[in-house]
Structure 1
Amino acid sequence: MWLLRAETHPDKAQVYPVQYFDQVQVCNGLTTNTVTFKVNAMIRSLTTFALATAASALSLSPNGVQSGCMFSVPDVGDFNTQILHDWSSSSTSDDVFKDLQASTYTVDAGTAPFARRFDIVNIGQDTKDPSITLTVPGGQQHGPVSSAQITTGFADILYGSVRTVAKVSNVPGTTHGFSFYANDTQEVDLAFLTSDISVIHLTNEQLTPDSELSSYQVDAPSDAATAWHEYRVDWLPGVTNFYIDSELVHSIDKNVPTTPSFFLWNSWSNGNSWAAGPPTSNSVLKIQSVTAYFNRTSVASSIAANPGACVSNPFSILSAYYADKNVTTSAQSAFINGSNLYIDTSSLDTQLGGNPWSGTAKTLTFLYTYGTETRVFVAAQNSGTYLITPGGIDTAPGSVLVPSITAPAKATIDIISVVWGKSQISTASVWNALYNDSIKKYSFQLLDEFFGIDTWWGTQKTAVIWYTAADGSFKAVVGRENAWVKFT
């Protein structure tokens, strides 16, 4: 089902309907608004950089690695938006195509014989050779020539790396374009002319009529029409880099755009000397997948407004109790602060959804991990603030490491930590008693005498005993002082 919206084309006056497609991951509120790039030190100025004309195997560029809310692309830089498409196993449903646009506007003929019009009907699916298809129907003898184009659903891209796995048409008379585009002087193109698919045309359009030309050709894979290949365009500050099957084939350092843009994939004809045509039979561009990394200016604004809102946090809160109330979800939201844990015990009722035990002083107890360490945090209500920073246990006030006490051979559970009142209990005799009760399925009463210590004199305490059950599930025995409990 095609879901249409009307939007204004960034460089046209008319309004046209669009279709939103794809899966997009955008990081809002990131770590920094500085996007860094590693520009290839060797800027090539050759008019032609030859790629072996023999058939080459598909080789994909390495994916970006997410850190916090940024995506780090090896040897390229950091970006705040990622797009991932794989149409090799997906249908052209609304979900699959969300956040891309199918263009439906007309480009005037100008000096060309015909105008061209982008039509949604020309965007389809090949189920036998899984991919989406952009088709210029054959046999058109009058303009506007019906063509096909998809663009990103946003036009605020300022630098990016786009990898398209595609098969091109060998029917003469069309142009296939993979381009960053803001306007006719702010444009980066990787293009095939289907009248001669032995070469690929790489261009930074002239910034002014007097600018030096920056259009080059490289040899295309000899099987570009019959085999999948990755065509990659990296637009970076001061340079555009072009890759085929993950190998750098050319760099251009002239006429590099600096204006935010969108990215487009199209197949079109208007009968001019460039595109030729129109084609006599259907000319089909097949796209199997798209992987893209962008720096979007709107996301950079979110970064500036919310620094640290998406900082990667090295701590993971596994389970939390406020007295005997499970508050794990609330604790994960309330206490994770940037790359730290911050606990203000003066406002626990508010942060954790209410007072679970009126008239009684309570403890906050949670089990958490840092790296390979499992720790327990315990603090009394209104005992101050605690800032836990990345580092050793000495940087984690209120925290202790869980003990390592071997379970008896007959035990069907594995105890992780035992907390009574304001302290973790690591006495082997207490753990052995707990294991014995679990083996015999006995109930036991939560008393100072059982735990061998009064950890909070004059206050009714809470016990939290975390353990792994026989089926591997993570559980806790929790109760107030004097209560009878048992392992399940």
Structure 2
Amino acid sequence: MEPLKRILALPTSFSSLILLISAAAPLAAAEPTLTEDSHCGCYLTNGNQSTYFTDHRFFDFRSLSQYASAPPVIRDVEATPGAQRTSAYFNSTEWTDFWMLGSWNNSNGARNDASVLMVNSPNNVYIEASDEPNPPSETWLTLRTQRLEKFQTAAEIESASTKFKYLSLRMRARTIGAGGALTAMFTYRGADTLAEVQESDLEIRTADPRNLMHYTNQPAYTDAGEVVPEATQNATMPGGLDWTAWAVHRMDWTPGRTTWYVDDTQVAQIEFQAPTDESNIILNAWSDGGKWTGNMTLNDAAFLQVQWLEVVYNNTEPEATKAQARKRDGAGGKPCEAVCSVDQTTQLGKPVMLWNNAAVAARVNGGGRMVAWMPRGIVVFMVLLSTGVLA
């Protein structure tokens, strides 16, 4: 008997169940339920290329008044890289499990047109309290760079892991301050030669018009100094904004391309030189007096300010993989049986459950109320399969 005829021949109660599931699914689909990361097998992103990732982290800097302190700039070049962390927050497990504070300098000649010694310092990464009327948040993370008499003091944070392979990285941020500096959010994989570097970045130059941004799959130039035009797309902020305004900047690194968004509007996408290997994550604020950043006026400063950071990602670290496997086993399912989203959530930083195949199968086979959301077609198919109609 054909499947449709089998369905029509079923007892009224079963046919009613199918109708109820079909009617209820669209309502449930509009309201995925808030959940915990421990219940998620993977995460499905929205956008022009939806992608599955295995892990999620959210860093919220909006209500950290107990750590707020804007330290004075250290003007001694020798004391700058070894400075103490600016608050206990940067010693917390939440921070140190994922991030490191940069303290390197450019004295190795990494950029051959640099005219100023640049030194990164933990002193330039701090939690700052807002002094604005009706602020968007009480506090935020600040990365500072300033031109001093003998050097440029700068700021960088980077992920402790160098094994990220594909991610969706978001920050609600703004760049403010004087011209001659650069702020950035990017993935990076270093190499012995320029041609082997793998990097996807968002860069904001404070000397540019305030609505202009640069998106690149590096390298954007050759050893001979020739520009690689396919590597870069320049874009303007959507909706009449400029980069001094708070906005959500997002970068999706997926197989074969990198895509960038501002406040959910796609502004750039580059397939040329898309990274293929494990990388780390970096945010920074800096200048070296070269052609790209420009040269800051003495005592001028610029700032990257971040309300929150969120990333869904894959990571090939052996320990991370084991931890993820344990998490999924503890949730009672195989990878991606429980699919979550951070895009459809009603509470920033907290995922919602899109569907849970294991939970639905248990409800169908064992009776009881189905509480997990799933696409209507999948629910109906599983019900029919479990009763032998499609056998």
- TM-score normalized with structure 1 length: 0.48
Give the aligned partner of residue 60 of structure 2.
Answer: 86
Give the aligned partner of residue 143 of structure 2.
Answer: 134
Residues 226-282 of structure 1: per-residue CA shift (max 9 Å, x gap): 431011111110010010111111110101111101111100000001101234422
Give the aligned partner of residue 121 of structure 1.
Answer: 123
Tell whether 2:43 aligns with 1:71.
yes
- Structure 1 unaligned blocks of 5 or more: 1-62, 315-337, 341-368, 375-389, 396-488
Residues 341-388 of structure 1: per-residue CA shift (max 9 Å, x gap): xxxxxxxxxxxxxxxxxxxxxxxxxxxx965179xxxxxxxxxxxxxx
Give the aligned partner of residue 237 of structure 1.
Answer: 255
1:283: how far off?
1.1
Letter in 1 for 2:106: V
1:72: how far off?
2.1
- Structure 2 unaligned blocks of 5 or more: 1-33, 68-86, 335-356, 360-365, 372-381
Tell whether 2:266 aligns with 1:248.
yes
Residues 426-473 of structure 1: per-residue CA shift (max 9 Å, x gap): xxxxxxxxxxxxxxxxxxxxxxxxxxxxxxxxxxxxxxxxxxxxxxxx
1:31-180 to structure 2, matched below 5 A, reads 68-75=40-47, 76-90=50-64, 91=67, 93=89, 94-95=91-92, 96-98=94-96, 99-108=98-107, 109=109, 110-128=112-130, 130-138=139-147, 140-143=148-151, 145-180=152-187
Letter in 2 for 1:121: N
SS at match of 2:322: helix
Identity %: 20
Tell me the distance in 2 between the aligned counterparts of 1:179 and 1:311.
32
SS at match of 2:230: coil
1:72 to 1:149, Cα distance in 2 relative to 1, 3 A: same
**Conserved 8 A contact 1:206-1:213:** no
Residues 379-410 of structure 1: per-residue CA shift (max 9 Å, x gap): xxxxxxxxxxx989x99xxxxxxxxxxxxxxx
Which consecutive aligned stretches of 4+ in structure 1 deviate over 3 angstroms post-superposition?
63-68, 206-213, 221-226, 299-308, 310-314
Give the aligned partner of residue 237 of structure 2.
Answer: 220
**Conserved 8 A contact 2:41-2:333:** no
**Conserved 8 A contact 2:212-2:242:** no
1:428-447 to structure 2, matched below 5 A, reads none
Tell whether 2:293 aligns with 1:275.
yes
Tell me the distance in 2 between the aligned counterparts of 1:151 and 1:205.
18
SS at match of 1:117: strand
**Greater helix percent: which structure?**
2
Give the aligned partner of residue 327 of structure 1.
Answer: none
**Conserved 8 A contact 2:237-2:243:** no
Letter in 2 for 1:72: L
1:242 to 1:65, Cα distance in 2 relative to 1, 3 A: farther
Give the aligned partner of residue 302 of structure 1.
Answer: 322
1:345-424 to structure 2, matched below 5 A, reads 372=369
1:160 to 1:192, Cα distance in 2 relative to 1, 3 A: same
Letter in 1 for 2:142: T
Tell me the distance in 2 between the aligned counterparts of 1:122 and 1:214.
31
Aligned match of 1:189 in 180, 195, 201?
201
Tell me the distance in 2 between the aligned counterparts of 1:207 and 1:311.
44
**Conserved 8 A contact 2:104-2:119:** yes
1:74 to 1:370, Cα distance in 2 relative to 1, 3 A: farther
1:89: how far off?
0.9
Tell me the distance in 1 between the aligned counterparts of 2:246 and 2:263.
9
Tell me the distance in 2 between the aligned counterparts of 1:286 and 1:97.
17
1:131: how far off?
0.6
**Conserved 8 A contact 1:68-1:312:** no
Tell me the distance in 2 between the aligned counterparts of 1:262 and 1:233.
14
Tell me the distance in 2 between the aligned counterparts of 1:284 and 1:304.
35
1:106: how far off?
1.2
**Conserved 8 A contact 2:43-2:54:** yes
Give the aligned partner of residue 312 of structure 2.
Answer: 293
Tell me the distance in 2 between the aligned counterparts of 1:282 and 1:191.
17
1:173 to 1:371, Cα distance in 2 relative to 1, 3 A: farther
1:312: how far off?
4.3
Letter in 2 for 1:217: N
1:68: how far off?
3.5
Give the aligned partner of residue 41 of structure 1.
Answer: none
**Greater strand percent: which structure?**
1
1:170 to 1:69, Cα distance in 2 relative to 1, 3 A: same
**Conserved 8 A contact 1:161-1:293:** yes
Tell me the distance in 2 between the aligned counterparts of 1:231 and 1:310.
34
Letter in 2 for 1:136: T
Tell me the distance in 2 between the aligned counterparts of 1:308 and 1:124.
35
1:153: how far off?
1.8
How many residues of Structure 1 are paired with residues of Structure 2 in the alignment? 264
